[in-house]
């Protein structure tokens, strides 16, 4: 539960799957804000690898010992969700200049839709600047190692998916 005086940030994304780059940003956000809500978009892709429930369960497992990290799923406009959560900040990670153009568009659109909500960009640790959920899925699907790039629980779930296919 958030209290009136808490500074709440929302960290939205598809998280299909959560990577160590995401984890790095979330932990930085947890130090900066009273509460950070990891907000998993339910309908980001038509064919996600993991269901929203699987993504929720994995992220909750990773942050189970972090009292000020909440994990939730959302539908609809991000600014509406942020308002419902009484968040005044949207956190997004910036890895490289190539991220910037789309992130700027989103930040400015979100500012138009929700002028009271500020987007804050954070840089992950250098070792994660090339890590993306898309590349993780591709490397894993082709049999490459992803250890150290995703939380262990995510690696286990990737292995389970592969065993089933």
Give the residue numbers marked as catalytic: 22, 46, 95, 133
Among 46, 56, 66, residue whose Cα is nearest residue 13:
56
In the bound complex, which residue of the shown chain has the CB atom lying closest to ligand PNS? 13
- When asked if residue 106 is in the footprint of ligand PNS (CB under 6 A), the reply is yes
Over the window 125 to 154, marking each residue x when it contacts ligand PNS by CB under 6 A and - when it does not, the resulting string is ------------------------------
Task: For residue 104, count other CB atoms closer than 10 A to its CB.
Answer: 13
Site for ligand PNS in 53-82 (CB under 6 A): 77-78
Count of alpha carbons within 13 Å of 18, Cβ hemisphere only?
30
Among 6-14, 24-32, 65-73, 140-148, the segment contacting ligand PNS (CB under 6 A): 6-14
At CA 60, angle to CA 129 and CA 100, rounded to 5? 25
Between 63 and 74, CB nearer to ligand PNS: 74
Whether 92 contacts 106, CB under 8 Å: yes
Residue 103 CB, nearest approach to ligand PNS (Å): 9
What does the buried/exposed string (b/e) look like for 48-79 if buried means 16 or more CB atoms within 10 Å of the residue's CB? bbbebebbbebbebbbeeeebbbbbbbeeebb
- When asked if residue 44 is in the footprint of ligand PNS (CB under 6 A), the reply is yes
Contact footprint for ligand PNS (CB under 6 A): 12-14, 41, 44, 77-78, 106, 109-110
């Amino acid at each position: 539960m958030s209290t009136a005086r808490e500074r709440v940030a929302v960290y939205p994304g598809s998280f299909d799957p959560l990577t160590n780059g995401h984890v790095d940003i979330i932990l930085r956000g947890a130090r900066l804000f009273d509460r950070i809500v990891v907000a998993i978009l339910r309908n980001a892709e038509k064919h996600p690898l993991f269901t929203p429930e699987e993504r929720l369960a994995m992220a909750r497992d990773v942050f189970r010992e972090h009292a000020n990290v909440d994990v939730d799923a959302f539908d609809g406009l991000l600014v509406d969700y942020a308002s419902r959560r009484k968040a005044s900040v949207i956190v997004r990670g910036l890895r490289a200049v190539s991220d910037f153009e789309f992130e700027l568009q989103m930040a400015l659109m979100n500012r138009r839709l929700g002028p009271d909500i500020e987007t804050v960009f954070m840089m992950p640790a250098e070792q994660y600047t090339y890590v993306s959920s898309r590349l993780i899925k591709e490397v894993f699907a082709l049999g490459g190692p992803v250890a150290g790039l995703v939380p262990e629980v995510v690696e286990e779930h990737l292995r389970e998916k592969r065993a089933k296919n």
